[in-house]
Amino acid sequence: MLLKNGNALLFKYCPCCGEKRLILSSEKCFSCNSCEFKFYLNTAAAGIAVIFNKDNALLVTRRKHDPAKGMLDLPGGFADPGETIEACLIREIKEELNLDILFLKYFCSIPNTYTYKSVTYSITDFVFLCTVNDFNAITACDDISDFYFMELCQLDKSLFGLESTKIIIDRLVKSK
């Protein structure tokens, strides 16, 4: 049976013994035929913020780096080890936009893949509706090159680079 994993052609050397005997033994596990080491590719977590201004326009960002460099996105990022998704989102929004989240409410989660420098990562995006008190300090920083406020009904999903963001937009439109 042929197993699916985009990393199977990249990962050949065992990180434990260094032998070129690493094989894909399941969709998320590589095993070494020399030392029997097992290397698991577990799912990472990301927080995504849905932020509307007082005119009910959605805060949209432009990606500064690959993947999907130059494409539109929603703000957020990956959780650090030992960090809750809520703390991750508060940190990421401060780093990327210099905004302080006052309140956040869970909206949905989306399974996702994220390919960076030829390695494919399995991700679960946790989406939160967020409230920001003041947009006066907003600045494009860190991983984003620009930001916009756009009417949800006028968004062109083809301008968004990541598939999970397109799904989030669909769910937002259906919830309104």
Sketch out the chain's domains with CATH numbers: 8-42 (no CATH), 44-175 (3.90.79.10)
Residues of the chain with pLDDT under 50: 1-2
Give the pLDDT confidence score for residue 3 in this predicted structure.
56
Give the pLDDT confidence score for residue 133 in this predicted structure.
87
Using the 8-state DSSP alphabet, how is residue 159 labeled?
G
Give the pLDDT confidence score for residue 1 in this predicted structure.
42
90: how many CB neighbours lie within 10 A of its CB? 21
Give the pLDDT confidence score for residue 6 in this predicted structure.
79
N residues, the chain: 176
Name the strands in the sheet holding 144-151, side by side, starting at the edge strand that comes first in the sequence. Answer: 72-73, 57-63, 144-151
Q: What is the pLDDT of residues 47-76, one digit of tens each?
A: 999 999 999 999 999 999 999 999 999 999
